[in-house]
Structure 1
Amino acid sequence: MQINIGIRQEYLTAVSHSLGRILADEFVLYTKTRKAHWCVTGPDFHSKHLFFESQYQQLEGIIDDVAERIRALGHFPPATLKEYLAITHLTEISREKNDATGYIKELLIDHESILIHLRENIDKYATAFHDAGSSDYITGLMETHEKMAWRLRAHLE
């Protein structure tokens, strides 16, 4: 059923596709954070294991929220690994060492990449697509990633 929420259908489609790329980024970041949680080694194992767990749990909630935002706009989110890997901005990196510092640096780069992408879309959603709700939504998402990135960065200082 076509929705009627005061936004033209082509704009809903454009925002939904853009949010799909954000969803893909979130899912890839979630997977990489899970890997860090599972594979981290070293003298600080316990604290980093718990730290990565708190981060992936937060990302798990974000993933669900982004997918539900896409559904609220009348579209279906991408939902396969193949789709995510085809549209993500992030890369999968194979690590030889499973040290916390290496994982933290990689995850921080990914958070910052997502932050840049979110910032690039805030005004576009509001002005070009007349979707203040999605603009507001990704502004909140940006603030969440800023805090998560700060927590990662603090481990490197």
Structure 2
Amino acid sequence: MRNTAPAIDIGIEKKTRQDIAQGLSHLLADEYTLYLKTHNYHWNVKGPMFNTLHKMLEEQYLELAPAIDDIAERIRTLGEYAPGSYKEFAELSSIEEASGKEDAEEMIREIVLAREAVVRTARKLLPTADEADDEPTADLLTQRMQVHEKTAWMMRSLLQ
């Protein structure tokens, strides 16, 4: 007799799980693209703000890495496959990649815009998670929005 895994029965209908996973896939793509952009800027920043930005951007990409994993694992928990290629991320992300040749102020501006784009992606999914009583996803979204809003504020403050 062949062993088979039981169907997922966590109190959320399959179609709703798929819809939430699709929204999380967009969030994952945004977070990963932001991670890549942040790491790129960390490597390529120059000018009088170099030391401050180099350290700040390192802290940011180190925070993003486990969050990306959490989002992908939530997608898998819901029974769907997580996107994992540059091609998939490029198709799903609302954030443009960066060249790394921007000046420091433009890098800061781009990080602010990208952080706020991630917040919008998360906020768009929140009502679906709430309606499904999917507290783990709602909690994940709320945590990510809080991190991105605060970081956007801190980065924006460097420009004022």
State whether TM-score is above 0.5. yes
Q: Is 1:140 matched with 2:159?
A: no
> Which of 93, 108, 114 is matched with 1:110 structurally?
114
Cα distance in 2 for partners of 1:27, 1:73 equals 20
Percent of paired sites with the same residue: 36
Which structure has the bigger radius of gyration? 2
C-alpha distance in 2, partners of 1:84/1:68? Answer: 16
Is the CA contact (8 Å cut-off) linking 2:42 and 2:54 kept in structure 1?
Answer: yes
Which of these residues, 146, 152, 156, is aligned with residue 153 of structure 1?
156
| Distance (whole Å) between structure 2 residues aligned to residue 50 and residue 133 of structure 1 | 32
CA distance in 1, matches of 2:54, 2:133: 42
CA distance in 2 between counterparts of 1:60 and 1:93 reads 18
Runs of 5+ consecutive residues of structure 2 not aligned to the other structure: none
Cα deviation digits, residues 129-157 of structure 1 (max 9, x gap): 44232122201111111111122112112
d(CA) in 2 for partners of 1:133 and 1:117?
17
Aligned residues: 155
Q: How does 1:60-79 map to 2 (within 5 A)?
A: 60-79=65-84
Report the RMSD for the aligned CA atoms in angstroms.
1.5
Shift of 1:120: 2.0
Match of residue 29, structure 1, among 11, 28, 34: 34
Structure 1 regions of 5+ residues with no counterpart? none
Q: Equivalents in 2 of 1:117, 1:34: separation in Å? A: 21
**1:122 and 2:115 aligned:** no
- Asked whether the equivalents of residues 18 and 80 of structure 2 are also in contact (C-alpha less than 8 Å), the reply is yes
